[in-house]
Structure 1
Amino acid sequence: MLKLHGFNASNYVNMVKFVLLEKDVSFEQVTLYPAQEDAVLAVSPMGKVPVLETDQGHLCETSVILEYLDDTTDGPAFYPADPFQRARVKELAKLVELYIELPARRCYPEVFFGGQVSDETKEQTREALLKGIRALNRVADFSPYLAGDQLSAADALFLYSADLAKAVAGKLFGLDLLAEAPGSAELLKQLNERDSARKVAADRDAAMEKFLKYARGGK
């Protein structure tokens, strides 16, 4: 059986978990927090999560894991068979990750963990998020999904990136980020209403107190 190593408050872990649930693939979860300890580095070279344990070994990096799952498991495909459409899904996913999720992450300490970030970082983040969401709007279909009428890996990344970026933009800048991409708010709502997303959200909420303690240096 596949084993998903990570923790339920991680948005990247939840991208993989969402796809596993959508595909109705049996898997076991193993709690693992990012660390530079030997035991973690043995399965994840950068000490990050998620990690997927297979019969042949461990895989890291979310996009790699999602492609592996599409190649090796049954259920709905999250990458199209057509080479161009497949590349387009990867393009959309990369736009979400590089230009929405990662910029927003710079302000997570202040928005979610009670810390502070510099005014310079906030301004850079605001500009990057606006640029990123507008770029996504230029190429996404939102009809109803990012790449058209089929749920894809790009939607999994969007689901667990756009909500956090929206929270950052709203709290720090008074900005409705998703208003910059008509159809994106409706997509986020639709994705969150799926049974798989509801399961992920329930597990995330149940794990949040333990994660926050860990993030603040507790045991």
Structure 2
Amino acid sequence: MENSVYIFAPTFSSFARSVMLCCEEKGIPYTCGMAPSGTEISSKSPEHLAIHPYGKLPALLHDGQILLETSTICRYLDARFEGPALQPADPLERARVDERSAEIALYIDQALLRDIVLEFAFPKGADGQVRLDQVQKKLPAARFALMRVRKLLADNLFIGGRHYSMADALLTPILDYIDKLPLGNELLGSGVVKEYLERMRQRPSGQKVLNMV
């Protein structure tokens, strides 16, 4: 078995950062980029579509195999490699982590990262300006998503309960990007979500991955 994995995605991708966080937590050597064979692959190019038929990112390349979808990749890394478990052993607790991972990847990511962060990162307004009217329309859904994060955290240190899990790896890059926006303080405030984010940033995995450019 190859000891290292290749994460096919740019390092700024939030989901790529989720996979990198899992690798860091488990001590898995990895490379992240868009050149798995040494030559840069353009987004949505035939070479990209040969790896991911829908032209999405990331994909995991390991042992001659390709795996798609971030949650699936994280579960694979946890099962295939030694290191701290990213999923609980108890069936119900594991199901809760899986449930929360799905909510983060499907709904929270859409409301916060796709609809808010990407509007600032890749402005589509006239002369490259951020479409603030579109941001305003999306804020209610963003606030609801953050309310859900607060509810899921409750009194726990981690989003999945008592221990760090793949759900934390999925959530942390999203919150990190939101916090860095001009309206980050307004959205996150100074309560439980911001405190959670700071704990995740202080982990060795967070210090390495979240500070990549």
TM range, smaller chain:
0.7 to 0.9
The 5-angstrom pairing of residues 63-74 of structure 1 reads: 63-74=71-82
**Equivalent in the alignment of 1:44:** 52
Contact 2:7/2:61 (8 A) holds in 1: yes
Indicate how the Cα distance of structure 1 residues 7 and 187 shifts in structure 2: closer, same or farther if over 3 A, else same.
same
1:1-219 correspondence runs (5 A): 1=2, 2-31=5-34, 35-104=43-112, 105-114=114-123, 115-116=128-129, 118=131, 121-168=134-181, 170=183, 176-179=186-189, 182-202=191-211, 204-205=212-213
Distance change (3 Å), C-alpha of 1:168 and 1:87: farther
- Rate the CA distance shift 1:69–1:186 in 2: closer, same or farther, 3 A: same
d(CA) in 1 for partners of 2:170 and 2:43?
Answer: 23
Q: TM-score if structure 1 supplies the norm length?
A: 0.80
Q: CA deviation at 1:176?
A: 2.3
1:150 to partner: Cα distance: 0.4
**What SS is found at the alignment partner of 1:132?**
helix
- CA distance, structure 1, for counterparts of residue 109 and residue 20 of structure 2: 18
CA offsets 1:54-89 (integer angstroms, 9 cap, x no match): 225101111110011111111111111222111211
Q: Is the 8 A contact 2:109 2:174 kept in 1?
A: yes
Partner of 1:76, secondary structure, is coil
Cα distance, 1:47 vs structure 2: 1.4
Aligned length: 200
Contact 2:59 2:69 in 1 (8 A): yes
**Which structure 1 segments of 5+ residues have no match?**
206-219
Q: Percent identity?
A: 28
**Once superposed, what is the RMSD of the aligned Cα atoms?**
2.4
Query: What is the TM-score of this pair, normalised by structure 2?
Result: 0.82
Q: 1:142 & 1:194 partners in 2: Cα distance?
A: 19
Partner Cα distance (1:19, 1:108) in 2: 22
| Residue segments in structure 2 that go unaligned for 5+ positions in a row | 36-40
Q: Residue 4 of structure 1 contacts residue 50 of structure 1 at CA under 8 Å; is this kept in 2?
A: yes
Contact 1:22 1:196 survives alignment (8 Å): yes
Distance 1:120 1:90, change over 3 A: farther
- SS of the residue aligned with 1:74? coil
Secondary structure of 1:196's counterpart equals helix
